[in-house]
Amino acid sequence: MLNSKQSVVITGANRGIGLGLCSLYLHYGWQVIATHRQGAISDALQELNKQYSSDLTLVELDVCDEQSIQHFAAKVCEEWSHISVLINNAGVSIDSKFGEWNQATFLNNFNANMVGPALVIQALSGLFEHNTKVIQISTGLASLQENIGADEPFDAYAVSKISLNLLTKRLANKAQTKSAIYCAISPGWVNTDMGGPEAPTSVAEVAQQISLTIESLTLEQSGSFLDSTGATIPW
Ligand SMILES: NC(=O)c1ccc[n+]([C@@H]2O[C@H](COP(=O)([O-])OP(=O)(O)OC[C@H]3O[C@@H](n4cnc5c(N)ncnc54)[C@H](OP(=O)(O)O)[C@@H]3O)[C@@H](O)[C@H]2O)c1
């Protein structure tokens, strides 16, 4: 059970895990700012907006567009004076197998999965309080030690998320930012457009696990890499 009347910003809430987290936090009575891209609000997100009109604010955000990040941050600052939790969930997995690699694949993964979250954190950092939780939705593919699925075409995606993980650790140790709690969380393999229908975990299940893991995070865990249940993943 989550404490109510706290505030969470969730990027990429139009579908998938972001939408599931949005729905769950609203169910527990949180104030939610959920982002969607310009012109793209799914029926499910619109439905939540009707059901929770006083607790949910929808804001446009394209994490690959610096101007969009600035507009989004200005809007969040108009609405709220602080943030309890920020979940950098928006992400892409643009796959390309060895032999077909190109610059665009690497740069587009990197831009959405690392540069975007970095600039979102910087733009919202004025709203962070002591113990604000900043969550980077990462992936098990980003564990250097485990190096899962090296034969799969996820190379550009995996390295972009490894960068996101290192960014998380650096923020946790930076004098300017370290009073907040920064954590990379892998959701595991989840049944979404990205994960595909064969994934063993439902969005509802993983949203519940991630929210409880976030709830239990302490400052001592800042800079850690966890699975959805809160177990440590080796770097
Ligand atoms: N599903 C899995 O098995 C799995 C496994 C490991 C990690 N993850 C991570 O979990 C997170 C959510 O994944 P998901 O499975 O829910 O993916 P998804 O179903 O493909 O949803 C991705 C969400 O991110 C948004 N998005 C993509 N690019 C964006 C951009 N440039 N600016 C703003 N929003 C953008 C999408 O918006 P639109 O609707 O407008 O396209 C969508 O709402 C991602 O970070 C992903 O890497 C997922």
Ligand 1 mean position, distance from CA 12 (Å): 6
Provide the CATH number for the domain around residue 123: 3.40.50.720
Does the residue 2 lie in any domain?
no
Q: Reading across the β-sheet that carries 31-36, which strands appear in turn?
A: 56-60, 31-36, 7-10, 83-88, 128-137, 181-186, 224-227
Of the listed ranges 4-8, 133-137, 177-181, 204-208, the least confidently predicted one is: 4-8
Ligand 1 mean position, distance from CA 11 (Å): 9
What's the rounded Cα separation, in Å, for the pair 38 and 52? 21
Measuring from atom 5 of ligand 1, which residue has the nearest CA? 189
Of the listed ranges 10-14, 177-181, 205-209, the least confidently predicted one is: 177-181
User: What is the number of the ligand 1 atom nearest to the C-alpha of 88?
Assistant: 45
pLDDT at 144 over 50: yes
Ligand 1 mean position, distance from CA 224 (Å): 21
Assign 54 to helix, strand or coil: coil
190 within 8 A of 202, measured Cβ to Cβ: yes
* Both structure tokens of 117: 């979250």
Does the residue 233 lie in any domain?
no
Q: Is 25 exposed, middle or buried (0-12, 13-18, 19+ CB in 10 A)?
A: buried
Does the residue 62 lie in any domain?
yes
Does the residue 1 lie in any domain?
no
pLDDT at 4 over 70: no
Does the residue 232 lie in any domain?
no
pLDDT, tens digit, 9 for 90 and up, residues 67-105: 999 999 999 999 999 999 999 999 999 999 999 999 999
Does the residue 140 lie in any domain?
yes
Does the residue 131 lie in any domain?
yes
Pocket lined around ligand 1, Cβ cut-off 6 Å: 12, 14-18, 37, 40, 61-64, 89-93, 112, 137, 139, 186-187, 189-190, 192-195, 199
Contacts of 157 (CB under 8 A, 6+ apart): 92, 93, 94, 95, 109, 113, 139, 141
Indicate the DSSP class of residue 179: T
Residue 175 pLDDT: 85
From 194, 201, 203, 225, mutation site for ligand 1 pocket: most ligand atoms within 8 A of C-beta = 194
Residue 1 pLDDT: 46
Contacts of 150 (CB under 8 A, 6+ apart): none
Report residue 47's pLDDT band, with 50, 70 and 90 as the boundaries: very high
Report residue 5's pLDDT band, with 50, 70 and 90 as the boundaries: low
Q: Which helix (H) or strand (E) holds 43?
A: helix 43-51
pLDDT at 177 over 60: yes
Report residue 2's pLDDT band, with 50, 70 and 90 as the boundaries: low
Does the residue 234 lie in any domain?
no
Q: What percent of the chain has pLDDT over 90?
A: 94
Bridge partners for 34 per DSSP: 10, 58
| DSSP per position, 70-108 | HHHHHHHHHH-S-EEEEEE---------TTS--HHHHHH
pLDDT, tens digit, 9 for 90 and up, residues 189-225: 999 999 999 999 999 999 999 999 999 999 999 999 9
206 within 8 A of 20, measured Cβ to Cβ: yes
**Boundaries of domain holding 81:** 7-227
Give the chain's domain count.
Answer: 1
